[in-house]
Copies of this chain bind each other. A is one copy, B any other.
Amino acid sequence: MGEQPSIELLPKQHQLLEQLVLAGQELSGQDLHARLRGTPLAMGLATVYRHLRQLQQQGLVRCRHLPSGEALFAPTERDEHHLTCVDCGRTQPLTACPIHDAHLSPEQIGGFQLLFHTLEFFGLCSDCQGRQDQD
């Protein structure tokens, strides 16, 4: 983990990555598309998703899925993970990654070239714990 771009990025891929870095928060494909609409950097939804997939395959971008099914993207350089409420879906970032480079033995890895990981915790936020008691 921590590969530098070995291949040249296409201009639009660079734009997308830059948007993700500048945003300072995770964005969905739809978010990125909306954010760029009207600017000279605008691009179609198909292109957004196409390049996001390619960025992922180069290990530059990570994605995680909300319980809603929506996918959120972030640069892998930002090693941030989350705590998500299984009831209301609210998400809060963790301030530190509890595993950093987790200890995976070579036989566990079995030839894979590691690009990134996702680590997500799920539970009930304090509000929803209260609401469950009432139910």
**Residues in A lying within 8 Å of B, measured CB to CB:** 56-57, 59, 62-63, 65, 67, 69, 71, 83, 85-87, 92, 94-96, 98-99, 102-104, 108-126, 129
Contact = CB atoms under 8 A, between A and B. Distances in A.
Given A57-B86, A119-B117, A125 B102 contact: no
Given A71-B69, A86-B56, A98-B102, A122 B118 contact: yes
A69 B92 CA distance: 22
Contacts of A123: 59, 112-116
A121 B92 CA distance: 21
B57 A87 contact: yes
Contacts of A120: 117-119
B108 A94 contact: yes
A130 to B, nearest CB: 10
Given A83-B108, A113-B123, 15 more contacts: A85-B112, A94-B108, A98-B103, A104-B121, A111-B126, A112-B124, A112-B126, A114-B121, A114-B123, A116-B122, A116-B123, A117-B119, A117-B121, A118-B120, A118-B122
Contacts of A115: 86, 122-124
